[in-house]
Amino acid sequence: MHILLIEDQKKLAENIRQFLTLEQYAVTVCNDGKEGFEKAMTQDVDLLILDINLPGMDGYVICAMLRQNKKNMPILMLTARTKQQEIIHGLNTGADDYLSKPFDMDELLARVRALLRRSATEKDPTLGTGKITLDTNTREVSRNGKKVSLSPKEYGLLEYLLRTKGTVQDRPKIIEHVWGARDDLMFSQTVDVHVAYLRRKLGKDLIETVPGKGYMIAAS
């Protein structure tokens, strides 16, 4: 799961990134409102954690503009504002939940998990192709009905390729979605290695290599 965090307090943003990364989420951090909005519009984002007071563009505007542009990822607002009317305003602009600062990281994680579960129930929780089945609720993967143990990144890569089945995904996009990083050359080989691991565990024909473009799982 790829989480985009837009938060201008760099120390807080890094603490959140480290905490959620340990929970096996891929996290991209932006400290500027305009840059964050651009990433939310152009990247594949499963959940947006959005501060209100931001340089460049505030959280209310970002949230409203994303909804106007039909971006339906869950949005969790972080706010130091505790007046009821301000919270209501945030929800009315399209936020799904809010968390007042300061907050406990375990509470943040609970909100994140709840929003992602809610989002998943709106989709078919089961993904698959051929003899491969992935249950997004239990995070279990099976081949021919037998469970297969995957590492968190192997699972994330498989889920992403199944969700984008039939479409070639280049390495930078895979890195962004599964690892929460971009433009880091060392990750390019990491993608190749994890594809090799999945082929070894789930079948060499599962993931197609498209020369010069990337990887894909063929549409069933």
| pLDDT surpassing 70 at residue 155 | yes
pLDDT (0 to 100) of residue 146: 94
Do 40 and 99 sit in the same domain of this protein? yes
Count up the domains in the chain and report the number. Answer: 2
Question: What gap in Å lies between CA 136 and CA 126, rounded to an integer?
Answer: 6
User: Higher pLDDT residue, 172 or 187?
Assistant: 172
pLDDT-derived band at 13, boundaries 50, 70, 90: very high
Give the domain CATH number at 164. Answer: 1.10.10.10
User: Higher pLDDT residue, 137 or 217?
Assistant: 217
With beta carbons less than 8 A apart as the criterion, state whether 48 and 96 touch: no
User: Higher pLDDT residue, 196 or 137?
Assistant: 196
Residue 168 φ/ψ, nearest 5 degrees: -70, 130
Do 51 and 130 sit in the same domain of this protein? no
Using only the alpha carbons of the chain, give its radius of gyration.
18
pLDDT-derived band at 139, boundaries 50, 70, 90: confident
pLDDT (0 to 100) of residue 163: 84
Do 137 and 43 sit in the same domain of this protein? no
Q: Are strands 126-129 and 97-100 parallel, antiparallel or unpaired?
A: unpaired
Do 98 and 131 sit in the same domain of this protein? no
pLDDT (0 to 100) of residue 1: 76
pLDDT tens digits along 76-101: 999 886 667 777 887 888 999 999 88
Do 134 and 158 sit in the same domain of this protein? yes
Residues 201-217: what's their mean pLDDT? 93
Do 61 and 96 sit in the same domain of this protein? yes
With beta carbons less than 8 A apart as the criterion, state whether 150 and 201 touch: yes
Question: Which residue, of 121, 142, 162, is where some domain finishes?
Answer: 121
> What range defines the domain where residue 148 resides?
126-216
Do 143 and 114 sit in the same domain of this protein? no
Question: What gap in Å lies between CA 88 and CA 68, rounded to an integer?
Answer: 18
